Chains A and B, each alone.
Chain A
Amino acid sequence: MSLLRNLATGLRSLFRREQVDRELNEELGAYLEMEAAEKMKQGMSRNDALREVRLERGSLEVTKDLVRSGGWEFFTETCWQDLRYAIRTLRKSPGFTAAVVLTLALGIGANTAIFTLTDAVMLKSLPVANPGQLYRLGDNNNCCVMVGTQNGGSFVLYSYPLYEELRDHTPEFSELAAFEPWTSDLNVRRAGSAAQPYKGEYVSGNYFPMFGIKPFAGRLLGPADDSPGAPPAAVMSYHTWQLRFGSDPSVIGSTVNINGVACTIAGVTTRGFYGDTLRSDPPDFWLPLAGDPEKWRLPNAATEFLYAIGRLKPGFTPDSVQVRLTVQLQQWLSSHREVIPDRDQKDIPQQHIRLTPSAGGVQQMQTDYASGLQLLLTLSGLLLLIGCANIANLLLARGSANRPQIAVRLALGAARSRLIRQMLTESLLLAIAGGLAGLYVAYAGAHAILLLAFRGAEYVPIDARPSFPVLGFALLVSLGTGIVFGIAPAWMASRCDPAGALRGAGRSGSDRFSTAQKPLLIAQVAFSIVLLIGAGLVTQSLRNIEYQHFGFVTEGRLIVKVAPGLSGYTPDKLEGLYQRLEETMPQTPGVLSASLSWYSPLAGDNANEPVFIQGKPTDYRWTAPSWDRVGPHYFETIGTRLLRGRAIDERDVPGAPNVAVINETFARRFFPNENPIGQHLGMWDASHSGDYEIVGIVEDAKYQDTRGPAYATFFLPLLQAAPEDPFRGWVGAIELHVAGKPENLEPAVRKTLADIDPNLTVLSMMSFGEQVARNFNQERLIARLTDLFGALALILACVGLYGITAYGVARRTNEIGIRMALGADRRNVLGLVLRAAIFQLGLGLAIGIPATLAGGNLLASQLYGVKSYDPVILGVAAVVLAGCGIVAAYVPARRATRVDPLAALRYE
């Protein structure tokens, strides 16, 4: 009741101010009159009485102000006054305002852009019902097909029979779904049009019920679709339906040909659903596991190739459920002795299942990007701090220039708190303007970052639009910076002694402002050198890793990804296809040589298999070596040097003696002191150890891991395969060595391929250089952003140094004039001014470089081929910063030497 009344009267005095003022005037007037009347009764004249009353009661205006300041509306009103005043003063100095808003926009924008990414990648949940109930069985991202025990006993990959066992005997889960960890290439053909490559994921029948998502149209897959006899069905993602099928409703319920199988499109998922893992190019289609083309995998209890996520019923804790799952796992492993090789049976008690909260799905991208994002957040934070220091310096200079004005206001009775409030209003206004501009920078920046981070991706299910947490973050950062850089200058300005300031003291020599400016500048130099060294290190590291010797040549090479299996080829037709490819491709104008392989280097693929050497005991200490199948001229086409013996060539066809080529590491590991050529090896088991004769050794080449050494690898001819080899002879890549720019040859290559077989779908075609470059997206992202931050930091530091020196010169014009009048020459004056700047620079470097060395650990894990204390980079960064800083200080210093002593002495 009284609250309402208070509000009503407050609002009335805000909006009907004149009337309220008039009433207050009248009431106070009546008061004075009555008092005067009293005095007149005692015999005073009217004028005397009024004068006496005024003397006794003080000024009417002061009384009015006092009464007015009693209500809450007074606070609102003064805030409004402060705001209008701040806007007016800022508009009067557009250069200053623009500099501050721009600095803030860049600083806040960079932070917000990186936070947007952090929010989208690290913090967002899957767009499904109650994601907090989802738990994944397993605590790491081991991939993809495994046999036997797993990493340190922690199970993450499950065979289908094991999955069924867990699904049917764990009532704590309302649903437990399984899915393949990878996306598969699909060859999709609608009636009457050419086949197109798509991405697909094979999932268990309860996958969609487990996530609890709804169809946008049609229906989703259910357990009935995932049984051996069920008619093939698939579900399409909303994004694919919209983008690649033009939201055509007739697709739903229609039959399309997927990998040669007629398949009904049952429905479209709800908008925004991208599956179980946040990744670039998520699945376009979800298909039931029963339809997995690798038929041998599903019933095999020893083939571990599925991830599992379950929805925990309310009331159960993951801790108790994982204990139960572990017991089930161990019992199942003991009763299925074929799963774990005899030598590892003793490890069964160590096998266990950990439940990981999976509101965000499988934490693939999250794990990959965590340290990079953390580094970028730190660096952008540093950049913002440098910006803040710069702005604080500008505000200090302004505060110092405003001293006479503030002194007058204090002398006239303005309250210090009110002055501080008014100056804080100004800096908060600047901060918010900077924050708004920063949001725009963040939006544009997040887009650019996504492009950099996911180079080569067609679709990344990450929204670059700032979400509510991001907006909140930006607001918080803006207000924080506004207070950080605003409060000290405001407080100092309000502490000035009116009398002294009015007399003109502090016109020369040092004052409180310049003593505060110097540490800020030194801090700025220190932060900048940290950023510059960081930029130098990550750039050098990127150069080292991207242009290292991989063991092949990327220039002038074109890689075509194909999947004949998806284009309707059966194993018996492969030989003919490969012959035609090998004969026709080199005849394309511009192609120097061509070859085929199962997979090509650094395309994300790697296969490994235990190997058995004839005449040697099996050695389990080693990780199984990698292997690939390659056609004739493979090594010369990709530029890997042959060291000894011969390469795989036209002789090595099915029926001819089986041969193998090994790399240096393979030779060193398995044949330390002997000649490998002429030795025999084989896969699957010891009885096959005589299958392939080693005929050549090639140099090491990196196929998967770009940081570590090359894996021990053996190469087999395309079609010399044992019958039990499930990967027998399928080719995945065509390598071409071409003259000129590889991209220019794309149309000709496509035409040649279409001439050979129009149904052979090209999954992708890109230069070898591009294929390799996509391995370094994260390194490149960090390097480019750090470079940008370093450059901005350098500019800000120089602007800061310039500003402070120029301000110092202006303040000391008088002193310099006196010095010159007393005989100082230009060099003395130049030295006088520069010495201060060089001292600050030097001190900043002296603090910043050790700090960088100490903080180098954060970077060390990101660096390749360069130490975090690389002296050359340290030196170059220091010289660049010092050089730019001295130039920035030299400009105003030279101005000081041009001071005319006579004019300076008269200068006020």
Chain B
Amino acid sequence: MPDKPSDLVQGTLDMLILKTLALEPIHGYGISVRIEQMSKGVFRLNAGSLFLAIQRLERDGLIDGEWKPTENNRRARYYTLTAKGQKRLDSETREWGRQVTAIARILEAS
């Protein structure tokens, strides 16, 4: 049996969504699939928290949403990263890197 999906580290969901959208504009389901794929199944998103985060990011002007037809002829909202979102992603990535290094240093200390 595979490991159970983990909960996300608090506050990292926004950063992961921004990162996903930095690759290419995509709809909500796409984001959830991408994150699951890229994390190799470690992170599985709940639709509620995903759309809550999307709503928050859109209101903060970090992403833009637009209705577009999907491959199988439905309508879905496709999200793109705004310039502001790109800046936020850069700074959060840097900050994350710093923190991970620091935590790793602490954990490796003997």
Bound: A589/B72 CA distance, A: 115
Q: Can you name the residue of chain B whose Cβ is closest to the Cβ of A72?
A: B59
A58 proximity list for chain B (CB < 8 A): 46, 48
Q: Which of B56, B74, B76 contacts A70 (CB 8 A)?
A: B56
Distance (whole angstroms) from the CB of B35 to the closest CB of chain A: 14
Report yes or no: A67 in contact with B58, Cβ–Cβ below 8 A: no
Distance (whole angstroms) from the CB of A803 to the closest CB of chain B: 46
Bound: A26/B52 CA distance, A: 15
Bound: A32/B29 CA distance, A: 8
Bound: A34/B77 CA distance, A: 13
Report yes or no: B59 in contact with A6, Cβ–Cβ below 8 A: yes
A67 proximity list for chain B (CB < 8 A): 48, 51-52, 55
Q: Which of A2, A10, A28, A33 contacts B51 (CB 8 A)?
A: A28
Report yes or no: A57 in contact with B59, Cβ–Cβ below 8 A: no
Q: Can you name the residue of chain A whose Cβ is closest to the Cβ of B56?
A: A70
Report yes or no: A5 in contact with B61, Cβ–Cβ below 8 A: yes
Distance (whole angstroms) from the CB of B43 to the closest CB of chain A: 15
Bound: A67/B46 CA distance, A: 11
What 1/0 flags go to B64-92 for Cβ under 8 Å of A? Answer: 00000010101111000000100000000
Report yes or no: A9 in contact with B59, Cβ–Cβ below 8 A: yes
Q: Can you name the residue of chain A whose Cβ is closest to the Cβ of B76?
A: A30
Report yes or no: B70 in contact with A34, Cβ–Cβ below 8 A: yes
What 1/0 flags go to A66-99 for Cβ under 8 Å of B? Answer: 1100110000000000000000000000000000
A55 located at the interface, meaning its Cβ lies under 8 Å from any Cβ of chain B in the complex: no
A579 proximity list for chain B (CB < 8 A): none
Bound: A63/B55 CA distance, A: 13
Report yes or no: B28 in contact with A31, Cβ–Cβ below 8 A: yes
Report yes or no: B74 in contact with A30, Cβ–Cβ below 8 A: yes
Bound: A10/B32 CA distance, A: 25
Bound: A514/B78 CA distance, A: 59
Distance (whole angstroms) from the CB of A578 to the closest CB of chain B: 93
Q: Can you name the residue of chain A whose Cβ is closest to the Cβ of B45?
A: A57
| Interface residues of A, dominant DSSP | helix
Interface size for A (C-beta < 8 A) is 27
Total inter-chain residue pairs, C-beta < 8 Å: 67
B103 located at the interface, meaning its Cβ lies under 8 Å from any Cβ of chain A in the complex: no
Q: Given A30-B70, A62-B48, A66-B48, are A5 and B59 also a contact pair (CB < 8 Å)?
A: yes
Distance (whole angstroms) from the CB of A49 to the closest CB of chain B: 14
Distance (whole angstroms) from the CB of B63 to the closest CB of chain A: 11
Distance (whole angstroms) from the CB of B102 to the closest CB of chain A: 30
Report yes or no: B74 in contact with A33, Cβ–Cβ below 8 A: yes
B19 proximity list for chain A (CB < 8 A): none
Q: Which of B47, B55, B61, B77 contacts A71 (CB 8 A)?
A: B55
Distance (whole angstroms) from the CB of B27 to the closest CB of chain A: 7
Q: Can you name the residue of chain B whose Cβ is closest to the Cβ of A59?
A: B48
Distance (whole angstroms) from the CB of B53 to the closest CB of chain A: 9
B72 proximity list for chain A (CB < 8 A): 33, 37
What 1/0 flags go to A44-66 for Cβ under 8 Å of B? Answer: 00000000000001100011001
Report yes or no: A34 in contact with B55, Cβ–Cβ below 8 A: no
Q: Can you name the residue of chain B whose Cβ is closest to the Cβ of A30?
A: B76
Bound: A31/B33 CA distance, A: 11
Report yes or no: B75 in contact with A30, Cβ–Cβ below 8 A: yes
Interface centre among B29, B74, B84 (most CB of A within 10 A): B29
Report yes or no: B58 in contact with A57, Cβ–Cβ below 8 A: no
Q: Can you name the residue of chain A whose Cβ is closest to the Cβ of B61?
A: A2
A656 located at the interface, meaning its Cβ lies under 8 Å from any Cβ of chain B in the complex: no
Report yes or no: A27 in contact with B51, Cβ–Cβ below 8 A: yes
Please provide the chain A residues from 8 to 54 with a CB less than 8 Å away from any CB of chain B in the complex: 9-10, 23-24, 26-28, 30-35, 37-38
What 1/0 flags go to B23-50 for Cβ under 8 Å of A? Answer: 0000111001100000000000011110
Q: Can you name the residue of chain A whose Cβ is closest to the Cβ of B28?
A: A31
A1 located at the interface, meaning its Cβ lies under 8 Å from any Cβ of chain B in the complex: yes
Q: Given A30-B27, A30-B29, A30-B76, are A66 and B52 also a contact pair (CB < 8 Å)?
A: yes
Report yes or no: B51 in contact with A1, Cβ–Cβ below 8 A: no
Report yes or no: A70 in contact with B52, Cβ–Cβ below 8 A: yes
Bound: A57/B52 CA distance, A: 15
Interface size for B (C-beta < 8 A) is 24
B27 proximity list for chain A (CB < 8 A): 30-31, 34
Bound: A67/B59 CA distance, A: 13
Distance (whole angstroms) from the CB of B23 to the closest CB of chain A: 18
B47 proximity list for chain A (CB < 8 A): 28, 31-32, 57, 63
Report yes or no: B29 in contact with A34, Cβ–Cβ below 8 A: yes
Bound: A812/B28 CA distance, A: 59
Distance (whole angstroms) from the CB of B39 to the closest CB of chain A: 17
B59 proximity list for chain A (CB < 8 A): 2, 5-6, 9-10, 71
A38 proximity list for chain B (CB < 8 A): 33
Q: Which of B56, B61, B75 contacts A26 (CB 8 A)?
A: B75
Bound: A628/B17 CA distance, A: 99
A70 proximity list for chain B (CB < 8 A): 52, 55-56
A66 proximity list for chain B (CB < 8 A): 48-49, 51-52
Bound: A1/B58 CA distance, A: 12
Distance (whole angstroms) from the CB of A56 to the closest CB of chain B: 9
Please provide the chain A residues from 367 to 409 with a CB less than 8 Å away from any CB of chain B in the complex: none
A6 proximity list for chain B (CB < 8 A): 59-60
Bound: A157/B47 CA distance, A: 84
Q: Which of A2, A9, A27, A35 contacts B76 (CB 8 A)?
A: A27
Q: Which of B46, B70, B75 contacts A57 (CB 8 A)?
A: B46
Bound: A326/B71 CA distance, A: 97
Bound: A24/B52 CA distance, A: 11
Report yes or no: A27 in contact with B28, Cβ–Cβ below 8 A: yes
Bound: A57/B61 CA distance, A: 28
What 1/0 flags go to B88-107 for Cβ under 8 Å of A? Answer: 00000000000000000000
A62 proximity list for chain B (CB < 8 A): 48
Bound: A513/B46 CA distance, A: 42
B49 proximity list for chain A (CB < 8 A): 66
Please provide the chain A residues from 560 to 608 with a CB less than 8 Å away from any CB of chain B in the complex: none
A35 proximity list for chain B (CB < 8 A): 29
B32 proximity list for chain A (CB < 8 A): 31
Q: Can you name the residue of chain A whose Cβ is closest to the Cβ of B65?
A: A27
Report yes or no: A2 in contact with B52, Cβ–Cβ below 8 A: no
Bound: A224/B33 CA distance, A: 95
A28 proximity list for chain B (CB < 8 A): 47, 51
B74 proximity list for chain A (CB < 8 A): 30, 33
Please provide the chain A residues from 705 to 745 with a CB less than 8 Å away from any CB of chain B in the complex: none
Report yes or no: B58 in contact with A9, Cβ–Cβ below 8 A: yes
Q: Can you name the residue of chain B whose Cβ is closest to the Cβ of A57?
A: B47
Report yes or no: A63 in contact with B48, Cβ–Cβ below 8 A: yes
Distance (whole angstroms) from the CB of B81 to the closest CB of chain A: 15
Bound: A66/B51 CA distance, A: 9
Bound: A37/B29 CA distance, A: 11
Report yes or no: A31 in contact with B29, Cβ–Cβ below 8 A: yes
B33 proximity list for chain A (CB < 8 A): 38
Report yes or no: B52 in contact with A1, Cβ–Cβ below 8 A: no
Bound: A71/B56 CA distance, A: 8
Q: Can you name the residue of chain B whose Cβ is closest to the Cβ of A53?
A: B47
Bound: A58/B74 CA distance, A: 22
Bound: A30/B51 CA distance, A: 13
Bound: A23/B70 CA distance, A: 15
A contact residues vs B (CB 8 Å cutoff): 1-2, 5-6, 9-10, 23-24, 26-28, 30-35, 37-38, 57-58, 62-63, 66-67, 70-71
Q: With A26-B75, A66-B51, A67-B52 given, can you name 5 additional A-B contacts, CB distance below 8 Å?
A: A2-B60, A30-B29, A34-B70, A58-B48, A63-B47
Q: List 7 A-B contacts (CB under 8 A).
A: A6-B59, A27-B76, A28-B51, A37-B72, A57-B47, A58-B48, A63-B46
Those 7 A-B pairs whose CB atoms lie nearest each other, nearest first: A66-B48, A34-B29, A2-B61, A63-B48, A30-B76, A6-B59, A67-B51
